[in-house]
A and B are shown apart, each in its own frame.
Chain A
């Protein structure tokens, strides 16, 4: 399903039917899912438009209320000044993005994952997060690539105490999502600075460039600089 396509295009599998074609002088995009959902949009462009279907930041559905993703996992304990890479799953949202006249726009976002939101921190001052529950895996788990991706999370304990960790909060504006035919992946680092404060940031998949393709991310369209953008988890991580 993922990849760049010229219009007209048509994709169909057992779960979804996607189509973009010209009808009576208008470009029509249409999506139908096996769950009975139907979505249609008319696209007006005088140039040759391209359509890209790829995973996007999973913080848009069913309605955008936040740009943060929170992944909760069974509590683990990490030794002082130690570090370890674990694998977690994250929900996938699939974006259909149209390119034309040197700009792009997401015309459709859909997902096969159940949606849930949460509050990280207090009601006054905290943040709303898109919430996902994951198990901890030491190796790459097998997932449904249309529903769940894999997050490589490098946890670094910079404190001089043992720390319990059971959640990570990531900023959608800094996400770097990669995909291949088999898997959707993200790479991130979580630094435990004090017993209640941690910093999270996304990493580039430099060592996987030959097998992974980078997604077009929606939040880049806002032209917000994402270089070394970190999120500080100031309300704990357990």
Chain B
């Protein structure tokens, strides 16, 4: 029968006066502390999930977790015959060494602590850090974890987060957005404005205060430009932003108001000589070619082509048409 003297192993010294038993006790206390810390922090998160914000809960959970582990460490260290005062002196020297050796790590650590307490960003925020646009998923001691809108994992060192420009799109409870809506010169801008205002009034998330702003902003080359500005709660801003524009388009078109296409009137000087009226007859000729009633299929490709050639030669000399014929 195998006879193992376990008492002897436990009592045998490992270094100095520290026995194997004391080392085992040290690790046992540490493991228990980690288990207790995990248990407490998980239950804390479960219990307070609906009561406080995710960001505060995360901070509280981390503080509790690390506090329990530090308490466990303080309880366990005497088992290794280590005096805390001596450890602090040693820690001071160690700190200097670590400070030089791991400058960026320490910098990230300190930045992380400041980020957690200053809270320029919170978990779930839609932020632009430097040139990286992410939704914040976690703020850890050394780094900030996020997710891009394409679902890609992003880890940014806390030092960079702390020292770079941060644009937080949801830090304020409401934000404004705007559209440019173009209508034809023939349409009634007042009617279009009334339709848009009515639509904004009926949309629950277009805020009553600050009020919306709808006005003629410019008399453009293709039509009248109406500027539409409105506010929405930051939580639903994107949903409102992506639905309202099409609803405006449908609503104003239902009332006979149309969004204009880019248009350009071209004058043809070579025809003006034949008609005796500078440019006028030329314009009418081309217009008739494109009138809705004109049967384009009745025109030969040559007619259409010659029209194109004419329009392309509008800045040429009056006899440039002849030149073109000669070239053929």
Task: Point out residues on A near B: beta carbons under 8 Å.
Answer: 61-63, 65-66, 114-120, 123-128, 131, 222-224
User: Across the interface, which residues of B come within 8 angstroms of A63, CB to CB?
Assistant: 236
Q: Is B273 an interface residue (CB 8 A)?
A: no
Give the distance to chain B from A117, nearest Cβ to Cβ, in Å: 6
Contact B233 A65 (CB under 8 A): yes
B169 to chain A, nearest CB (A): 12
Q: How far is the CB of A125 from chain B (nearest CB, A)?
A: 8
| B: number of interface residues (CB 8 Å) | 19
Q: Residues of B contacting A114 with CB < 8 Å?
A: 202, 204
- CB closest residue in chain A, given B208: A118
Q: How far is the CA of A118 from the CA of B204 in the complex (A)?
A: 9
Chosen A-B contacts, 19 in total, with CB atoms closer than 8 Å, are: A63-B236, A66-B233, A115-B204, A117-B204, A118-B207, A118-B208, A118-B209, A119-B173, A119-B207, A119-B209, A123-B172, A123-B174, A123-B231, A124-B172, A124-B173, A126-B174, A128-B233, A131-B208, A222-B50
B82 CB to nearest A CB, Å: 46
Please tell me if B205 contacts chain A, counting CB pairs below 8 Å. yes
**Least distance between A89 CB and chain B CB atoms (Å):** 16
Chain B residues with a Cβ under 8 A of chain A? 50-51, 171-175, 201-202, 204-205, 207-210, 231, 233, 235-236
Chain B residue at minimal CB-CB distance from A72: B208
A35 to B125 alpha-carbon distance, docked (Å): 37
Once the chains bind, are A65 and B208 in contact (CB under 8 Å)?
Answer: no
Interface of B is mostly: loop
- A66-B233, A118-B207 known; 15 new pairs, CB 8 Å cut-off, are A65-B233, A65-B236, A114-B202, A115-B204, A116-B201, A116-B204, A117-B205, A119-B207, A119-B209, A120-B209, A124-B171, A125-B172, A131-B208, A131-B209, A222-B51
- A residues in contact with B235, CB < 8 Å: 65
Neighbouring A residues of B205 by C-beta, 8 Å? 62, 65, 117
Contact at A126–B173, with CB atoms within 8 Å?
yes
**B51 proximity list for chain A (CB < 8 A):** 222-224
| A-B CB proximity, top 10 nearest | A115-B204, A118-B208, A123-B172, A124-B172, A118-B209, A128-B233, A123-B174, A131-B208, A65-B233, A119-B174
Q: Are A128 and B208 in contact (CB under 8 A)?
A: no
A123/B208 in contact, CB under 8 A: no
List residues of chain A with CB within 8 A of the CB of B208.
Answer: 116-118, 131
Tell me whether A119 and B231 are in contact (CB under 8 A). yes
In angstroms, Cα B224 to Cα A215, docked, is 53
Q: Which of B172, B175, B204, B231 has the most CB of A within 10 A?
A: B204
Contact partners of B231 in chain A: CB under 8 A: 119, 123
Smallest Cβ-Cβ distance to B173: which chain A residue = A128
Q: Specify which chain B residues have a CB less than 8 angstroms from the CB of A222 in the assembled complex.
A: 50-51
Give the distance to chain B from A217, nearest Cβ to Cβ, in Å. 15
Report whether A62 and B204 are in contact in the complex, using a CB–CB cutoff of 8 Å. Answer: yes
Contact A119 to B204, CB < 8 A, known contacts A65-B233, A126-B173, A128-B173: no
CB distance from B33 to the nearest CB of A (A): 31
Task: Enumerate chain A residues within 8 angstroms of B210, measured Cβ to Cβ.
Answer: 119, 123
Tell me which of A66, A119, A124, A131 has the highest count of chain B C-beta atoms within 10 A of its own C-beta: A119
Q: What residues of chain A lie closer than 8 Å to B204, measured between beta carbons?
A: 61-62, 114-117
Residues of A within 8 A of B236 (CB): 63, 65
Chain B residues, CB < 8 A from A126 = 173-174
Q: How far is the CA of A82 from the CA of B231 in the complex (A)?
A: 37
